[in-house]
Amino acid sequence: MVDLRSDTLTKPTAAMLAAMASAEVGDEQYLEDPTTNELQRRTAELLGHEAALFLPTATMANQAALRAQTTPGSVLLAEERTHVLVYEWGGPAVHSGLIMRGVPAQAGRVRPDDVAGVLDPDLGPGGIVVLENTHRSSGGRIWPLDDLRATAGAARERGAAVHLDGARLFNASVAAGIEPSAWATLADSVTICFSKGLGCPTGAILAGSAALIERAWESKYLFGGAMRQSGVLAAAALYALDHHVDRLDEDHARARRLAEGIGLDPAGVETNFVAIPDPDGDVEARAADAGVLLGHLRPGWLRAVTHLDVGDEDIDVAIAALAPQLVNTV
Ligand SMILES: *Cc1c(COP(=O)(O)O)cnc(C)c1O
């Protein structure tokens, strides 16, 4: 089986496990875990923010970011199939009492007009706009800097905070040749996920101002995400920063080759996702019969995701297996 369901399927490499095994550790909650402290220092710098906080998952990082910057009853605005709205189990409503408003948007890019239309200062205070880069449900699409700047500006004009869900920000950065801080500094807070293409078993970073990170600590305790010798996990993240970022362009090249090989336009592949139309809902089962596992992208669409554990031969096998299944679909 060639498994292209998700880039979360990566398993830690032997070298990553060795880095984890030899990590210097202490009690994170006493601020005495040197490896976690180093990861937080390094990612804050990389993202152009004052401070950063290590959390077990990017879901928790997103939820902590929302809770740190909103009051109950205010509005969360995002593209309608954004991760925080669709895949976080109602967390913004449960943890922060937010009204969740989704708007349709091309390539996941909420526009300034959408913000102006939804965030009415007369109807309540503040609020928060969540922007996702790369945008998962549109197929790993990248936000152009100017677009993100304009939408973030519209949010601020209405007194709303801006959170960037950059779970795959490094994919955007490597593909576009733009520093991650260029996007990250346009937002008040930013999440990075280490368990996608970066290949870690788990782990995420939330970055923002020192005051925001102080508030996020409250959620880290409240959600049960305050750890102890977390340096074992932070060591995997540090290893990934050194060894698994630059190589993301291999994943992107393989995704483009896969798209081309199955008759899709490779220009539509911006990072490590290939969006595969599935209008009749039978492609997933037919692909599985042919030996290829695909994931769900959005209604009517599947995804093939490349990552650290998908090699050139896997792409050859996937093309040979999928091309005949898709003749009448794409
Ligand atoms: C996977 C993902 C998350 C959540 O990551 P976890 O670490 O698995 O909780 C958040 N946002 C986006 C866009 C994601 O793709």
Q: What local confidence, expressed as pLDDT, does residue 330 receive?
A: 58
Task: Over range 157-177, report the average pLDDT.
Answer: 97
Q: What local confidence, expressed as pLDDT, does residue 328 receive?
A: 62
> Is the shortest distance between the CB of 138 and ligand 1 below 6 Å?
no
Length of the chain, in residues: 330
Task: Over range 65-86, report the average pLDDT.
Answer: 97
Q: Does domain 12-243 have CATH number 3.30.450.20?
A: no
Q: What local confidence, expressed as pLDDT, does residue 158 receive?
A: 93
The amino acid sitting at 299 is P
Classify strands 204-208 and 189-193 as parallel, antiparallel or unpaired. Answer: antiparallel
Query: Which tokens in the block code for residue 329?
Result: 């679909």
Task: Over range 14-31, report the average pLDDT.
Answer: 98
Q: CA-to-CA distance for 88 and 246, rounded, in angstroms?
A: 29
> Is the shortest distance between the CB of 44 and ligand 1 below 6 Å?
no
Q: Which residues contact 319 (CB under 8 A, 6 or more apart)?
A: 257, 258, 261, 262
> Is the shortest distance between the CB of 165 and ligand 1 below 6 Å?
yes
Q: What local confidence, expressed as pLDDT, does residue 325 receive?
A: 78
> Is the shortest distance between the CB of 82 and ligand 1 below 6 Å?
no
Q: CA-to-CA distance for 79 and 102, rounded, in angstroms?
A: 5
> Is the shortest distance between the CB of 10 and ligand 1 below 6 Å?
no
> Is-contact 149 107, C-beta < 8 A?
no
Rounded to a whole number of angstroms, the distance between the first and last alpha carbons of the chain is 22
Q: Which residues contact 37 (CB under 8 A, 6 or more apart)?
A: 31
Reduced to 3 states, what is the DSSP secondary structure of residue 126? Answer: coil
Within the chain, all domains assigned CATH 3.90.1150.10 are found at 247-326
Q: CA-to-CA distance for 203 and 44, rounded, in angstroms?
A: 15
> Is-contact 176 213, C-beta < 8 A?
no
Query: Which tokens in the block code for residue 298?
Result: 């959005």
Q: CA-to-CA distance for 250 and 228, rounded, in angstroms?
A: 35
Q: CA-to-CA distance for 159 and 75, rounded, in angstroms?
A: 11
Q: What local confidence, expressed as pLDDT, does residue 128 receive?
A: 97
Beta bridge partners of 189: 163, 208
Distance 121 CA to ligand 1 centre (A): 30
> Is-contact 293 6, C-beta < 8 A?
no
Distance 324 CA to ligand 1 centre (A): 32
Q: What is the pLDDT of residues 293-302, one digit of tens each?
A: 999 999 999 9
Query: Which tokens in the block code for residue 40?
Result: 């937080």
- Using most ligand atoms within 8 A of CB, pick from 55, 89, 136 the residue to mutate for ligand 1: 136
Q: What is the pLDDT of residues 210-261, one digit of tens each?
A: 999 999 999 999 999 999 999 999 999 999 999 999 999 999 999 999 999 9
Share of the chain above pLDDT 90, in %: 95
Q: CA-to-CA distance for 27 and 37, rounded, in angstroms?
A: 11
Q: How high is the mean pLDDT of the chain? A: 96
Query: Which tokens in the block code for residue 285?
Result: 């089962």
Alpha carbon separation from 156 to 27, 82, 139 (Å, rounded):
38, 20, 28
Q: What is the pLDDT of residues 103-130, one digit of tens each?
A: 999 999 999 999 999 998 777 778 999 9
> Is the shortest distance between the CB of 132 and ligand 1 below 6 Å?
yes
Distance 62 CA to ligand 1 centre (A): 9
Q: What local confidence, expressed as pLDDT, does residue 122 receive?
A: 77
Q: What local confidence, expressed as pLDDT, does residue 324 receive?
A: 84
Within the chain, all domains assigned CATH 3.40.640.10 are found at 12-243
What is the Cβ-side half-sphere exposure of residue 119, based on CA atoms within 13 angstroms?
31
Quick one: CATH architecture of 247-326?
Answer: Alpha-Beta Complex (3.90)
Number of helical H runs and strand E runs in the chain: 14, 11
The string of DSSP letters for 182-236 reads HHHTTSSEEEEESSSTT--SS-EEEEE-HHHHHHHHHHHHHTT---SSTHHHHHH
Q: CA-to-CA distance for 239 and 216, rounded, in angstroms?
A: 25
Q: CA-to-CA distance for 303 and 310, rounded, in angstroms?
A: 14
Top pLDDT among 136 and 327 is at: 136
Query: Which tokens in the block code for residue 135?
Result: 């945008």
**Helices 312-326 and 248-261, interaxial angle, to 10°?**
30
